[in-house]
Amino acid sequence: MKNRTNFSFLKEKRAQQTWIFLVIAWACIRAVVIKDVFGRYGINGWAYFAVDLGSAIPYAVYSGRCVINYLDKDWFAIRKNALFAFIFFYIPDFYVLIFAKKVPTSLLIGFLVSVCLFTLLAIWTLRSDVSKEEEGAHNSD
């Protein structure tokens, strides 16, 4: 039987607050990068930051709930919270796509490729984790 890591500490308020802090910190870093990269193409750095921060907090909450739902094996709640997490995760990207003007094709393609790669990585990681968990549940029977 394989040793299984105990992630129950993720249910603690301190872990959830740390996750929210990290997501907000990432939003700040991303706002600076987006301002520098897309600022000359019509993206207002402060407006982007407001959009990113406004979506980062709900994203952090819903994605954190997904982890807790996963630990509790609440598959319906995972789907619901994952849907909201994905919506809030992509809002800043949609902001860039909607408000950027006359962006060079290579920059736009690079932006879209990076969004797709990070999305695929997240989906692959989630599917891998779920498969391992299901495999572990079958082996313990």
Specify if 46 maps to a domain.
yes
Mean pLDDT along residues 2-24: 71
pLDDT at 135: 58
In a domain, 72, yes or no: yes
For residue 131, pLDDT over 70 is answered with no
Percent of the chain scoring above 70 in pLDDT:
79
Nearest to 96 by CA among 79, 81, 111, 78: 111
With 70 as the cut, is the pLDDT of residue 9 above it?
no
Degrees, nearest 5: CA angle 25-29-32: 140
Both tokens of residue 50? Answer: 């407001």
Using the predicted structure, report yes or no on whether residue 2 has a pLDDT greater than 50: no
Q: What is the pLDDT of residue 134?
A: 54
What does the pLDDT read at residue 3?
A: 42
Distance CA 65, CA 85 (A): 9
Structural domain total, the chain: 1
* The overall pTM is greater than 0.85: no
| Residue length of the chain | 141
Taking the mean position of all CA atoms in its chain, how far away is CA 52? 12
Does some domain include residue 25? Answer: yes
Domain extent, residue 58, equals: 11-102
